[in-house]
Structure 1
Amino acid sequence: MKKLFIILFLFLSFLVTYAQDADTTLLRKLVEKQVLTQQEADEIILKNQPEKTNNETTLIPQKIREAFNTPYLNFGGYALLMYKYSDVLPIKHDLNPRLVFISMNGKLYNNIGYTVLADFVNPLIHELYGIWSPSNAFNLKVGQMKVPFTIENQFSLTQLETVYNTRSISSLASMADDVMKLQNGRNNGGRDIGINASGSLINMKGYDLMEYGIGVFQGSGISSPEKDNKKDFSAQLILQPIKGFRFGGSVYFGAATYTLSPDIPVATHVRDRWALSTEYRGNRFYARAEWLHGNDGGIKKEGLYGTALYNVVPKKVNVTCKVDYYNKNKNTNAEVIDYTIGANYYFFQQCRVQLNYTYSDYSTQWGARNSNVVYSQLQFLF
């Protein structure tokens, strides 16, 4: 019996050694064929080495990621569970899963990669693009992606200070309150399908002096076919003269096809925007302000907001406030001002609990009652 155990042990040892040698040979071949760089191959070998037993605790999520992820395929995502109280809605208390995003991305060959982002609550592909990144100065994306317009639009919901996007951004950057929703019935999340070039220029020892983005888009929103024979154009330029302080502007010229009311035929309307943006990011303090203008079929619109955040306990607890002015029709002065205060508590890395209170002050021309709304959101990142 002892001999049998010895033979089995030697056989298993041989298999493990052979597998490790085979893996090393395979990685060497991939480097020779320029599928992997030598640095990437070394990192894979390092990850597969046995862990040292030095009383250091490896987090379980990290182990799971390492077990499933490779340079060619990385899984991730996040989930948002939200509670909402409103004193003006018929249903005052509401608790529901807001979204569950699953992402996949990876490198196919050196500087060629891909990204897929899908929602499982309301099943839909939100992002699907290929990217060629020969350098930091030039990246080329083709597919469905974020449009280069405003600073806030580039943020993931997991990075946003508040539960919801600012009303001005939501109304003028292809989100839930934009006329784009009339075209395809969706919150497009600031995304569209097209081709986009972007990059960072002039490195200043720890930060880049200039960032740019420029693209041509279909103008129909996410996962939607073309509605007209026109293409939309968007561009953004951001400067950072001092580390942490950025400012710049962005423009969007396009069209949207929708009906203004049930008794009016569907037609294509102009949909133009421009924005000025500024942002400061310090060790504990963060602030951002943006001024937007829009033209939807001859209706002039304007938005202006400012937000600030202070880290009470870095990477653990922060407090935030925001004031947002939005005018949905400058001819009639249909205005609203949203005042928001909130707090974020991070109980694990980028997993957090958010609490927001918003008071909305509507003008008579807007046609809505002033409201008090409380949001509480649980965020899991995996």
Structure 2
Amino acid sequence: MKLLYVKRVLLIAIILFSAIASKAQSNDELLNLLIKKNLLTQQEADSLRSDLALKEQQKRDKEKENQHNISIGSKALQISGLVQARYQGFQQTGVNNAFDLHRARLDAKGNITDQWSYEVYTEFAATTKLLDAYTAYKFADFLKVQVGQFKVPLTYESLVSDSQLDFIDRSQVVEALAGRSKDVIGNQNGRDIGIQVSGSFAKLNDHYLFDYTFGVFNGAGYDVTTDNNNHKDLAARLAVHPIKGLDFGGSLYEGEDIPLATTKVPNPVTQARNRYGFDARYATGPFSVTAEYLHGTDASVHKDGWYAQAGYFVIPQIQLVAKYDTYDPNKVITTDRSNIYYGGVNFVFNKWTRLAVDYLYKHEETATQVKNNILEAQLQIAF
């Protein structure tokens, strides 16, 4: 009797496993056959049908959930990417209108354990560059240690993800003083190699009151094999969130660096490269407003600039944006300040796809004005 029961259970298991493994569409027929042979009761068959339907639904949900996430063993691997195709129409004579690939990036990150995390972020547009490559350990909300290559905690806008910017381009002062396209150390995409600690503390209702970041960096930029001087740079940022949606921030940077123009000179001399800035942002419902000031000193040259911008979602799919952006590359010279007035609209098709259209009206404080306004359009896919 016991042997007969074992054979019965084994036969049922083999038949059901075969049906599931081959994804057969005749599960009901198999169950009906088992009922006819008195191997299953109607109640047992109904229970099996219910279990199979539940497992199939769970499988579909898991596949949908992991559409852009892959789990490998006990380590989480999340794959994402960013593609931004841009068109620029230049009013200035002698500058050609053109399409370009603004950004094309692939991001791999995940958690080794609940505390250990990592990220490897690569740029493929124009030339291949390693943007981020770091590991971090989170002891608690108030303390996380991060080592490797990543963004320097300087200015609000520089830390905003490229896919989340309200405008196609960052502000002039951020590009010039936060290790980006117009900085004396060259375009470092706001990144460097070093170590930093960060965290949040003083919880107020449903959010933390303070966020802090402090880091020590080479000061030579990203994707390099060695430091170009023996001095180590310091960067710090503190953000305050008095109420939900309202943020105030302050950034400080102290360093010594070799300007890009003198890196090939024999025995180049390092110079001071210091920064400080303040920012504020308020967002509620469809409306947001942001303002930021940044001051920099390169050797003995003082520079500064600021911007103020606002955005409003007319409907969830359409955001109108406006911005005033001013930058002075030398405080001693009175005719080199540049002012840009932005107007734009963002069409949000879904959470992955967005079309941004910006118009930049430029005005330089020079004796002769150059007609150099720009119309930009950018299609973004972020997955």
Q: TM-score range by the shorter chain?
A: 0.7 to 0.9
Q: Deviations over 1:172-216 (max 9, x none)?
A: 1111111120xxxxx211111100111111121222111111100
Q: Contact 1:359–1:370 (CA<8 Å) still a contact in 2?
A: no
Alpha-carbon offset, residue 242 of structure 1: 1.6
Alpha-carbon offset, residue 15 of structure 1: 6.4
Q: Contact 1:78–1:380 (CA<8 Å) still a contact in 2?
A: yes
Does 2:148 correspond to 1:147? Answer: no
Does 2:119 correspond to 1:115? Answer: yes
Most deviating of 199-208 and 118-127: 199-208
Matches of residues 334-373 of structure 1 in structure 2 within 5 Å? Answer: 334-364=336-366, 369-373=370-374
Q: Deviations over 1:219-256 (max 9, x none)?
A: 01111221110110000111111211111311000122
Match of 1:178 among 166, 170, 183: 183
Matches of residues 9-28 of structure 1 in structure 2 within 5 Å? Answer: 9-12=15-18
Distance between the aligned counterparts of 1:106 and 1:126, measured in 2?
Answer: 16
Most deviating of 256-265 and 222-231: 256-265
Alpha-carbon offset, residue 144 of structure 1: 0.5
- Paired position in structure 2 for 1:84: 88
Distance between the aligned counterparts of 2:265 and 2:198, measured in 1?
Answer: 40
- Paired position in structure 2 for 1:200: 200
Alpha-carbon offset, residue 110 of structure 1: 2.4
Match of 2:57 among 51, 71, 74: 51
Distance between the aligned counterparts of 1:263 and 1:101, measured in 2?
Answer: 30
Most deviating of 205-214 and 67-76: 67-76
- Paired position in structure 2 for 1:218: 218
Does 2:244 correspond to 1:243? Answer: yes
Match of 1:286 among 277, 285, 288: 288
Distance between the aligned counterparts of 1:362 and 1:49, measured in 2?
Answer: 65
Q: Deviations over 1:11-54 (max 9, x none)?
A: 535869xxxxxxxxxxxxxxxxxxxxxxxxxxxxxxx943279x
Does 2:168 correspond to 1:163? Answer: yes
Instruction: Please give the secondary structure, in 2, of the residue aligned with 1:349.
Output: coil
Q: Deviations over 1:105-159 (max 9, x none)?
A: 1111220010010011221100000010122211111011111111111101111
Alpha-carbon offset, residue 348 of structure 1: 1.6
- Paired position in structure 2 for 1:94: 98
Q: Name segments (4+ residues, structure 1) moved above 4 Å.
A: 6-11, 13-16, 57-63, 66-71, 259-265
Give 1:214's aligned amino acid: F
Q: 1:58 to 1:323 in 2, by over 3 A?
A: farther
Distance between the aligned counterparts of 1:323 and 1:364, measured in 2?
Answer: 18
Alpha-carbon offset, residue 264 of structure 1: 7.2
Distance between the aligned counterparts of 1:328 and 1:313, measured in 2?
Answer: 39
Matches of residues 29-68 of structure 1 in structure 2 within 5 Å? Answer: 49-51=55-57, 64-66=67-69
Question: Which one has the largest radius of gyration?
Answer: 2
Q: Contact 2:282–2:289 (CA<8 Å) still a contact in 1?
A: yes
- Paired position in structure 2 for 1:375: 376
Query: TM-score scaled to structure 1, two decimals?
Result: 0.81
Instruction: Please give the secondary structure, in 1, of the residue aligned with 2:373.
Output: strand
**Which runs of 5 or more residues in structure 1 are unaligned?**
1-5, 17-47, 182-186
Q: Contact 1:362–1:368 (CA<8 Å) still a contact in 2?
A: yes
Give 1:75's aligned amino acid: I
Match of 1:130 among 128, 135, 159: 135
Q: 1:309 to 1:59 in 2, by over 3 A?
A: farther
Q: Contact 1:158–1:350 (CA<8 Å) still a contact in 2?
A: no
Q: Contact 1:85–1:94 (CA<8 Å) still a contact in 2?
A: yes
Distance between the aligned counterparts of 2:14 and 2:137, measured in 1?
Answer: 49
How many residue pairs match? The answer is 337
Q: Contact 1:337–1:362 (CA<8 Å) still a contact in 2?
A: yes
- Paired position in structure 2 for 1:330: 331
Give 1:241's aligned amino acid: P
Q: Contact 1:274–1:294 (CA<8 Å) still a contact in 2?
A: yes
Distance between the aligned counterparts of 2:217 and 2:157, measured in 1?
Answer: 19
Distance between the aligned counterparts of 2:97 and 2:142, measured in 1?
Answer: 48
- Paired position in structure 1 for 2:33: none
Distance between the aligned counterparts of 1:264 and 1:14, measured in 2?
Answer: 70
Give 2:209's aligned amino acid: L
- Paired position in structure 2 for 1:273: 275
Most deviating of 300-309 and 259-268: 259-268
Give 2:79's aligned amino acid: F
Distance between the aligned counterparts of 1:262 and 1:127, measured in 2?
Answer: 24
Q: Contact 2:185–2:260 (CA<8 Å) still a contact in 1?
A: no
User: How much is the aligned-residue C-alpha RMSD, in angstroms?
Assistant: 2.8
Q: 1:375 to 1:106 in 2, by over 3 A?
A: same
Distance between the aligned counterparts of 1:259 and 1:172, measured in 2?
Answer: 14
Q: Contact 1:258–1:267 (CA<8 Å) still a contact in 2?
A: no
Distance between the aligned counterparts of 1:175 and 1:128, measured in 2?
Answer: 18
Alpha-carbon offset, residue 72 of structure 1: 2.0
- Paired position in structure 2 for 1:41: none
Distance between the aligned counterparts of 1:9 and 1:94, measured in 2?
Answer: 63
